[in-house]
Amino acid sequence: MNLPLLRALALPFSTPISIFEEDEGASPDDPQLWLYLGIALILVLLGGVFAGLTIALMGQDEVYLEVIHDSGEEKEKKHAGSVLRLLKRGKHWVLVTLLLSNVITNETLPIILDRSLGGGWPAVVGSTALIVIFGEVIPQSICVRYGLQIGSYLSPVVLGLMYIMSPLAWPTAKLLDYLLGEDHGTIYKKAGLKTLVSLHMSLGKSPGERLNEDEVTIITAVLDLKAKSVRSIMTPIEDVFIMSSDTVLDEKMVDKILQAGYSRIPIHAPDNPRNFIGMLLVRMLITYDPEDAQRVCDLALATLPETAPETSCLDIINFFQEGKSHMVVVSDSPGDQAGALGVVTLEDVIEELIGEEIVDESDVYVDNQRSVRRTLNAPVIIEAPEIAAIQAGSESKPTPVIAGSEVETSNQIFAKPRRTSTGFSQRAAQGIKHLGPSNPANKPSTTKYTNIKIKPGREHHHEGENGGQHANGGEAGEDTPLLGRANES
């Protein structure tokens, strides 16, 4: 009477035991045996392909593929393009499709083996061994090394499976995109990029692929350029060669300027050494005669912009590219008449750009930060032995020679007549009173960089010989900002 109930209670305990009971499989003479074994072999191969493609495609970084597609070899470009087009359709869609295909294959294999080998432990052990060895380990090991090539060749197959399984795979992929977000590849921060560049110095396959120390230094310096302020690279104002606008440019002062070796000299107001009104370009003194003894303000002065100490070096180098000035004053209050802390030149920014100090033949300081003086100063003009006068009855001034230089001075450079100390010469050459129209400093306009300030020009009204007229016949008017006084008649 209670036998059916007892049999029902014993049924769950008899099921696990039946797994290890070996049933009689198909006879070797049965054609279905070989059919089932062939299907099992195909399922093992398909499972291996799906498992390998999961590693091959999901292990690819889209940023890395973009790099290969743009700068790799022809075959690499082709493979990267195929994989990129597939992943652009949705990385989660590809992942769900491959996982579903792999699960279907692996779950079908034990059923086929049960039909061919019979039930029990032979089917369980056989399917497990085939799946682990030939469906997981070997395919994934191969695809880890040749994932890009295999993924490229089989991308049409994967695309077809994506559309076949789209009723289930596409909604699941969209749900993953919503929950986890779309993957757009690995984007490195600057610190990671510097580490990556440093690793390429030692991990390259060949010397041609490895970066040398100078390349690593320059790349890392460029990455730090935006975060570095001009305060950290400026030359303190105490170490800057500056001049007052009322300084008389006599022979002694011109020699001092030449010995200093600078190409640009900041000019400040006579009553305030922290209020800079312009910049003297030393090359303008080529045609200047020191015996004229003119003041600095009588010459044309280029603009000298000002900026705050927090301005980045990247903004400064972008400003220098505008061509308005290659020197900037660092000031606590840019645009005001005080607060100058130091100066920054194009050379200073380039030194930070390449990460190394640039030392030319006229540098007074090797390092602006540590103020290490050079053992040799700038070239000094010395007097060469007197040469017999070419013109009869005249005396010529000794030819200037640059100490330590073998370059001979050409007489054609100073073609304009000059006045000598003996008074024998034609009219002396005058200093340049204006900047050329091609010079951006001739018409300094407001720069597009808001952290760079250009002081407004001062008004200098004067009268010429013809009742308030300039020498060229025009009316006297306001000077160009920071270009100095106009040529007085």
DSSP code for 218: H
3-state SS class at 128:
helix
Residue type at position 386: E
Mean pLDDT, the chain, as a whole number?
Answer: 73
pLDDT at 449: 62
What would the mean pLDDT of 165-175 be, rounded to a whole number? Answer: 94
Looking at the chain, the domain(s) classified CATH 3.10.580.10 span 233-453
Q: Give the CA distances from residue 6 to residues 12, 287, 426, in Å, rounded to whole numbers and listed in that order.
A: 11, 122, 136
Which has more confidence, 107 or 391? 107
| Predicted confidence band of residue 158 (pLDDT cuts 50, 70, 90) | very high
H/E stretch holding 19 reads: helix 3-19
Q: How many other β-carbons are positioned within 10 Å of the β-carbon of residue 347?
A: 15
pLDDT at 393: 46
- The model carries a pTM of 0.56
Residues in the chain: 489
Listed in sequence order, the residues at least 6 apart from 284 whose beta carbon sits closer than 8 Å to its beta carbon are 299, 300, 431, 432
pLDDT at 295: 92
pLDDT in tens, 116-152: 766 667 767 877 887 888 888 999 999 999 999 999 9
DSSP code for 469: B
Q: Could you tell me if 313 and 355 are in contact, meaning their C-beta atoms sit under 8 angstroms apart?
A: no
Q: Could you tell me if 455 and 482 are in contact, meaning their C-beta atoms sit under 8 angstroms apart?
A: yes
CATH, domain range 233-453: 3.10.580.10
